[in-house]
Amino acid sequence: MARLLCGVWRRTGKGPGLEEIFYIADRTSIDQAEALIREFGVMAVDEAAARSRHYRELGNAIRFCEWRQMERFLSLLTLDIAVGTVH
C-alpha cells in the first residue's frame, strides 16, 4: 500500500484523496475493522485479505468488495505517513 501511495504521489505531484484509496460504506465497516484489530492485532490486514479471497472463491462479489475495501482501510492504518488532508 505504501508503494502504491508513493507511486501516486510521484506521478501526480499530490497525494490521493482518501476516497481514491478505499471506500467505507457505513459505521458497521469501522466496527468490523475495530473487531478485526482487537482479535488479530497486526494480522488484521491478512485476515481481511483471507476473507476477501474466500468470498471471491464463492462468487459473492458484494462481500468480496466489502472485505477488499476493509483490507485497504486496515493497510492504510498501518502506514507511518499521513494520507489525505491533514488539519
Q: Which domain holds residue 54?
A: 24-79
Q: Residue 86: inside a domain, yes or no?
A: no
Q: Residue 10: inside a domain, yes or no?
A: no
Q: How far is CA 10 from CA 7, 14, 15, 75, in A?
A: 5, 8, 9, 20
Q: Residue 84: inside a domain, yes or no?
A: no
Q: Residue 42: inside a domain, yes or no?
A: yes
pLDDT value of position 78: 84
- Could you give the CA distance from residue 1 to residue 82 in angstroms, rounded to a whole number? 13
Q: What are 34-66's pLDDT values in tens digits?
A: 999 999 998 999 999 999 999 999 999 999 999
pLDDT value of position 3: 44
Q: Residue 69: inside a domain, yes or no?
A: yes
Q: Residue 11: inside a domain, yes or no?
A: no
Cell numbers given for 3: 508503494
Q: Residue 38: inside a domain, yes or no?
A: yes
In terms of average pLDDT, the best of 1-10, 49-58, 68-77 is 49-58
Please give the tally of structural domains in the chain.
Answer: 1
Phi, psi of 59, deg, nearest 5: 85, 15
Q: Residue 4: inside a domain, yes or no?
A: no
Q: What is the pTM of this model?
A: 0.71
